[in-house]
Amino acid sequence: MPEQMGMIKNSLFAIVLTLLFGGLVVGFVSAQQPTPSDDQVNAIAKQLYCPVCEATPLDVCPTQACAQWRELIRQKLAEGWGDQQIKDYFVQQYGARVLGTPPPKGINWLVYVAPLLFVVAGVYILFRGFRSWRLRAQQTAISSPPSPPPDGEAGLQDDYIKQVEDQVRKS
């Protein structure tokens, strides 16, 4: 009888231990961040450019270096970093050239301002051109004397007949 009691005690102890250990493992696994998917990584990677290759977005870049950078994005996402934080980190590490568009500071402002300035200047030049063209046309209209009213179809025909007669006479 005492042996049976001992066995039951041992069994109970083993069950409790297993449950406790199992619970710990489940708790540890559920506490871990899920591994970010390739789609999540590529969503950020396509906004960044490979700092080594020419004009190649990070999501389609086939080099080993790019694979390392994509893994770095995955690691940062797993740590709970946001998109902007990851982009800022890449700029800090590899320079602004990793961004698809240059940050609007320093000489980079030219990229944003110059096209606008060219459009405004173009519109202004066109406006001035049209205005001076219209003014010139108006001034010509004012300064030139009124042309004599045409005599009509008959007058034109008379001139024509006269020219023909002159030619005939000469020949």
Partner 1 sequence: MDQTITDPAEQSTRTGHSSLWRILAWVALFALLVVVAMVLLRKQQGPVAVGQKPPSFTLTTFDGQQIGPKDMAGKVVLVNFWASWCKPCEQEAPDLQSAWEYYQPRGDVLFLGIAWTDTESASLNYIKKFGITYSNGPDLGTTISQAYRTTGVPETYVIDKNGNLASIKLSPYSSLSEIQSAIDPLLGP
List of residues contacting partner 1 (CB under 8 A):
51-52, 63-65, 68-69, 71-72, 91-95, 97, 107, 110, 114, 117, 121, 128, 134-135, 138-139, 142
Q: State in angstroms the smallest separation of the CB of 82 from partner 1.
A: 19
Rounded Cα distance between 167 and 171, Å, is 6
Q: State in angstroms the smallest separation of the CB of 144 from partner 1.
A: 14
Give the residues across from 99 on adjacent strands: 48
In order of 132, 137, 138, 145, the CA distances from 142 in angstroms are 15, 9, 6, 8
If the CB atoms of residues 30 and 92 are measured against partner 1, the closer one turns out to be 92
Q: State in angstroms the smallest separation of the CB of 47 from partner 1.
A: 17
Please state, as a whole number, how many other Cβ atoms lie within 10 Å of the Cβ of residue 36: 17
Q: Residue 110 is inside which H or E element, if any?
A: helix 109-143
Beta strands in the chain (DSSP E): none
DSSP state of 92: H
If the CB atoms of residues 47 and 66 are measured against partner 1, the closer one turns out to be 66
Q: State in angstroms the smallest separation of the CB of 149 from partner 1.
A: 23
